[in-house]
Amino acid sequence: MSDADLIAELYAGCFRRLVVQLYAVTGDLCEAQEAVQEAFTRALAAPGRLARLDNPEAWLRRVAVNIARSRHRRRRVLDGLLRRIDQPPTVADRSPEHLALLAALRELPPGQRHALALHYLVDLPIDEVAATLGVSPGTVKSRLSRGRQALKALLTDSAISESMTIGRIDVHT
């Protein structure tokens, strides 16, 4: 039996059982599913490992539990650090205008969307956007111009207010 066949058979036979077991450990169904999926991913990354084991399901369970424990420890450290910050982190703007902007950005080609997001929402200068995207500054300027025009058309179609400025993007310029 090939490694892929063995893993497919294990996945079909024990994925649900492992998720239920990890759910009891973590108390979070999504966390349990992710930990078990990560365990299967690690099994795929080490071909032949499972075939040599007497009980591959036990190995997957142990790996999944270790993953869940590691994530829990990292989350506790992060929570402790966040509590020491004077101001709580800002929550993303959920105004109708902001949500409309995000929806419109998803409609743009990736190059324009990335340039707009990095320049206007992350506040990177054009040279840094160019370096991040691996393109010339002229390409960034072109994408920004085309992206603003496309956003204007998309947001005008969606009947958003006439003077909408979100972040630093003025879609009516």
Q: Is residue 70 assigned to a domain?
A: yes
Q: Is residue 89 assigned to a domain?
A: no
Last residue of a domain, one of 33, 50, 84: 84
What residues pair up with 165 in beta bridges, in sequence order? 170
Confidence class of residue 99 from pLDDT cuts 50, 70 and 90? confident
Does residue 101 sit in the same domain as residue 126? yes
Q: Is residue 160 assigned to a domain?
A: yes
pLDDT score of 173 more than 50: no
Does residue 34 sit in the same domain as residue 56? yes
Q: Is residue 133 assigned to a domain?
A: yes
Does residue 79 sit in the same domain as residue 8? yes
State the residue range of the domain holding 102.
96-170
Question: Between these two residues, 1 and 53, which has the higher pLDDT value?
Answer: 53
**Count of structural domains within the chain:** 2
Does residue 7 sit in the same domain as residue 78? yes
Question: Between these two residues, 141 and 45, which has the higher pLDDT value?
Answer: 141
Q: Is residue 91 assigned to a domain?
A: no
Q: What is the pTM of this model?
A: 0.50
Distance, in Å, from the CA atom of 171 to the CA atom of 153, rounded to the nearest integer, reads 9
Strand runs labelled E in the chain: 165-166, 169-170
Distance, in Å, from the CA atom of 143 to the CA atom of 73, rounded to the nearest integer, reads 42
Q: Pseudo-torsion of CA 72, 73, 74, 77, nearest 10°? A: 120
Does residue 8 sit in the same domain as residue 61? yes
Does residue 59 sit in the same domain as residue 116? no
What residues pair up with 169 in beta bridges, in sequence order? 166
Does residue 131 sit in the same domain as residue 80? no
Q: Is residue 142 assigned to a domain?
A: yes
Q: Is residue 50 assigned to a domain?
A: yes
Does residue 104 sit in the same domain as residue 78? no
Highest mean pLDDT among 88-92, 141-145, 166-170: 141-145
- The DSSP symbol for 53 reads -
Distance, in Å, from the CA atom of 111 to the CA atom of 113, rounded to the nearest integer, reads 6
Q: What's the burial of 21, exposed, middle or buried (CB within 10 Å: 0-12/13-18/19+)?
A: middle
Does residue 119 sit in the same domain as residue 80? no
